[in-house]
């Protein structure tokens, strides 16, 4: 191929190089297999708990069941903060491979669990893996991706997580308790088998002074016709600037840019979980049983999960075209509307009204809720985390953001059954709806648009005085 033709293919409209993306996609998909593990762990309780709370070899009361559900979140809190430090110390690739261990151990324990305490320990252990994966997978993907592909690749995490949820609902409906756990454990085996051949993060290799290895990783990730010298030079400048800095929690509030990043990232994480999304996932089958829907609750749960999975795929396609901010606002608004509709159904049903003509409403409302979540709050909350912070604060900030996320998961999933019992389903869903409408306003005011921007361009915008007094 002539030189001029190669330049034309690898140079964008502004003179910036364009790269091949095959290995970026392969690495992102392989890393995101851990997100399948996250999804199966999250959704496992939805088909299993109704069985355990009835006649089973391991009887569990409703109160005990709420602990089985929510202990995963406590484990995630414990696993989140050290995950970033571990990734900085031994590398993104090795730390991700280590994260497979708690997932695998948990499923083995669930297979052989004969007592409630063993089940609870298994759920806490898988939570450690979940928290670590939520920190490390988005960060790894953000570091290997070019700006033009970062949104699509970042959405892979939520797409594969949705796939894990769908897998859990299907397996829960058609397999036995033990086979369910066996098949979920195979996900981690598949992850290790594929990810072991993937490249390390070039940015991390440069920070460790391993420039030749970083060059090889970039050539693999960007394609053979790509000249990595400019990108390596930028990574080297960042590494040198950050080498003398020791990140502390005070760095997150020291500058205008870091304060705005914390507000936007932590705020979106908060609204993601206060939407009630994980309560809906954990208790999907229970919700349909309570609604008295004529459709099989297991089938309805599978349909809702399928919708979430498909729409996560749509999000991966459109997020780099539509932008983060518009999708966030649309997502929160539609989620609020669907929760209002779901609350109306339960209000009429619990009030003794004939709701036979509205039997379609619970499924439709939850499907709309999942669609809206999957194109906005679901994937973009994880995307913003590695995009908004500098290299030296990313590990700490990501750990704290994931800890906040999973503390709220614990809070919502632990209190959701008692909220339904004491306030009624209608009021419970309306509270979540109000939170979503507040979230739409927050996203409009405080979340920056990061579509198509380099990480340095995002930092420049965050640190500018325009549009904020923080």
242 vs 330 pLDDT, higher one: 330
Mean pLDDT, residues 286-307 = 73
pLDDT at 12: 42
Residue 213 counted as domain residue: no
What CATH number does the domain containing 366 carry?
1.20.1250.20
CA distance 269 to 410: 14
Residue 109 counted as domain residue: yes
Given a cut of 50, whether residue 295 has pLDDT beyond it is yes
Contact 412, 183 (CB under 8 A): no
Contacts with 212 (C-beta within 8 Å, 6 or more apart), sequence order:
none
Q: How many domains does the chain have?
A: 1
Residue 120 counted as domain residue: yes
Q: How far is CA 135 from CA 14, 38, 78, 84, 130, in A?
A: 33, 12, 12, 7, 9
Domain housing 38: 20-198+248-463
Q: How far is CA 293 from the centre of its chain?
A: 30
Residue 309 counted as domain residue: yes
Give the tokens for residue 178. Answer: 């033990």
Residue 91 counted as domain residue: yes
Coil, strand, or helix at residue 76? helix
Mean pLDDT, residues 190-216 = 92
CA distance 277 to 281: 6
CA distance 231 to 236: 9
Given a cut of 60, whether residue 114 has pLDDT beyond it is yes
CA distance 462 to 184: 41
Q: In angstroms, how far apart are the furthest CA atoms of the chain?
A: 77
Query: Model's pTM, two decimal places?
Result: 0.78
E strand intervals along 55-203: none
List the beta bridge partners of residue 17: 11
Residue-by-residue DSSP string for 29-67: HHHHHHHHHHHHHHHTHHHHHHHHTSSSSS---HHHHHH
The radius of gyration computed from the CA coordinates of the chain, to the nearest angstrom, equals: 22
Given a cut of 70, whether residue 459 has pLDDT beyond it is yes
Contact 81, 93 (CB under 8 A): no
Residue 263 counted as domain residue: yes
Contact 429, 276 (CB under 8 A): yes
Which tens digit of pLDDT belongs to each residue from 9-63? 344 433 355 567 889 999 999 999 999 999 999 888 878 877 776 656 677 777 7
Give the tokens for residue 127. Answer: 């939570």
Contacts with 280 (C-beta within 8 Å, 6 or more apart), sequence order:
287, 366, 369, 370
What does DSSP assign to residue 322?
H
CA distance 153 to 90: 24
Report the alpha-carbon angle 279-316-400, nearest 5: 50
Q: pLDDT band for 456, please (50, 70, 90 cuts).
A: confident
Mean pLDDT, residues 140-168 = 87
Residue 345 counted as domain residue: yes
Residue 144 counted as domain residue: yes
């Amino acid at each position: 191929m002539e030189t001029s033709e190669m330049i034309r293919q690898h140079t964008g409209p502004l003179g910036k190089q364009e790269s091949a993306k095959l290995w970026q996609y392969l690495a992102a998909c392989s890393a995101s297999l851990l997100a399948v593990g996250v999804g199966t762990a999250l959704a496992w309780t939805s088909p299993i708990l109704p069985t355990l709370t009835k006649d089973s070899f391991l009887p569990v009361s409703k109160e005990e069941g709420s602990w089985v559900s929510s202990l995963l979140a406590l484990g995630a809190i414990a696993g989140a903060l050290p995950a970033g430090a571990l990734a900085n110390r031994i590398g993104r690739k090795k730390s991700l491979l280590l994260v497979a261990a708690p997932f695998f151990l948990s499923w083995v324990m669930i297979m052989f669990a004969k007592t409630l305490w063993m089940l609870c320990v298994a759920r806490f252990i898988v939570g450690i893996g979940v928290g670590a994966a939520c920190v490390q997978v988005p960060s790894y993907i953000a570091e290997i991706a070019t700006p033009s592909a970062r949104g699509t690749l970042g959405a892979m995490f939520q797409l594969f997580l949705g796939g894990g949820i769908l897998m859990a609902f299907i397996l829960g409906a058609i397999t036995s308790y033990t086979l369910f756990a066996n098949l979920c454990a195979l996900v981690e085996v598949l992850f290790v088998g594929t990810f072991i051949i993937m490249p390390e993060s070039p940015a991390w290799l440069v920070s460790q002074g391993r420039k030749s290895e970083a060059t090889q990783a970039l050539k693999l990730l960007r394609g053979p016709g790509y000249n990595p010298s400019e990108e390596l030079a930028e990574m080297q400048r960042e590494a040198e600037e950050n080498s003398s800095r020791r990140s502390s929690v005070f760095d997150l509030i020291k500058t205008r840019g870091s304060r705005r990043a914390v507000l936007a990232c932590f705020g979106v994480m908060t609204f993601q979980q206060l939407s009630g999304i994980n309560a809906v996932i954990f208790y999907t089958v229970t919700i349909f049983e309570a609604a008295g829907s004529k459709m099989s609750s297991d089938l309805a749960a599978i349909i809702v999960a399928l919708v979430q999975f498909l729409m996560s795929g749509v999000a991966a396609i459109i997020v780099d075209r539509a932008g983060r901010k518009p999708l966030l606002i649309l997502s929160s608004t539609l989620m609020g509307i669907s929760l209002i509709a779901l609350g109306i159904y339960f209000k009429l049903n619990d009030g003794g009204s004939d709701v036979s003509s509205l039997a379609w409403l619970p499924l439709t409302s939850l499907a709309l809720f999942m669609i809206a979540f999957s194109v906005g709050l679901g994937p973009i909350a994880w995307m913003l985390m590695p995009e908004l912070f500098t290299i030296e604060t990313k590990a700490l900030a990501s750990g704290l953001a994931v800890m906040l996320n999973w503390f709220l998961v614990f809070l919502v999933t632990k209190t959701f059954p008692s909220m339904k019992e004491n306030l009624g389903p209608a009021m419970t869903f309306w509270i979540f709806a109000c939170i979503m409408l507040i979230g739409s306003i927050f996203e409009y005011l405080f979340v920056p648009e990061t579509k198509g921007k380099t990480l340095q361009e995002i930092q420049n915008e965050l640190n500018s005085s325009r549009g904020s007094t923080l």
